[in-house]
Amino acid sequence: MKNKLRNIIIIPVIFLLTACGSIYQQYAIDSSMLTVEANLLKLQYTKVETILRQLQEDKHLFTDDEWNELLNVDSTIDMLIARIDGIIQFQSSEISLMDVQFMWGLAVEGYTKARTVISAHKDEIPPSSWALLDAFDTQAEMTNARIDKLLNDPSNSNITEALTLITGVIGIAVKMLGVAII
């Protein structure tokens, strides 16, 4: 009886420790590809952010609520860029799966909010630009599937690829904003 009770307690504890271990395990990041993606993202974002702010100031393209949503997206992008810069600073830094999942959640939320605001202005966007926005959505969905697959099988290379793809999705959101305001 005592052994049964011990097994009932020990087995769930071992399972819990194993499951938690993969979440908190640190993965070494090869930041070379991430650096390239991050630099492209920063260049794109600086241009789009400047144009977007100027257009909002001059023409008030967005309602106050929409502008507040875009400011939230701006804060999210700034935070993700800062986090990625922090990773890049340490050429072979380490990150946990939970950190990457959190960053991925922020990227998805930022993309979705930006897309919602842009969708409210569908009548103002030319059909050719709208086709490009649809292509961005398709690319983001395909990337989403790949990131999910990588995060379900964490390894140093999979986490590095996931971070690079997350940076790419943020870049897609920035391109989407750029196309919408042209």
* pLDDT tens digits along 5-18: 445 554 444 444 44
Is the residue at 124 inside a domain? yes
Q: For residue 166, what are the domain limits?
A: 27-181
Tell me the pLDDT tens digit for each residue of 126-162: 888 899 999 999 999 999 999 999 999 999 999 999 9
Is the residue at 17 inside a domain? no
Is the residue at 13 inside a domain? no
Is the residue at 80 inside a domain? yes
Q: Cα(168)–Cα(36) distance, rounded to whole angstroms?
A: 10
The backbone torsions φ and ψ at residue 96, rounded to the nearest 5 degrees and listed phi first, read -90, 160
Question: Span 22-41, mean pLDDT?
Answer: 83
Is the residue at 2 inside a domain? no
Answer whether 162's CB lies under 8 Å from 84's CB: no
Tell me the pLDDT tens digit for each residue of 93-103: 788 999 999 99
Q: Which pLDDT does position 180 carry in this prediction?
A: 85
Going by C-alpha positions, the residue among 77, 62, 179, 59 that lies closest to residue 120 is 62
Q: Cα(55)–Cα(182) distance, rounded to whole angstroms?
A: 10
Is the residue at 50 inside a domain? yes
pLDDT band at 116 (very low <50, low <70, confident <90, very high): very high
Is the residue at 75 inside a domain? yes
Q: Which pLDDT does position 94 carry in this prediction?
A: 82
pLDDT band at 111 (very low <50, low <70, confident <90, very high): very high
On the CB side of 69, CA atoms within 13 Å amount to 18
Question: Span 52-56, mean pLDDT?
Answer: 93
Total domains in the chain come to 1
Question: Span 82-88, mean pLDDT?
Answer: 88
Is the residue at 8 inside a domain? no
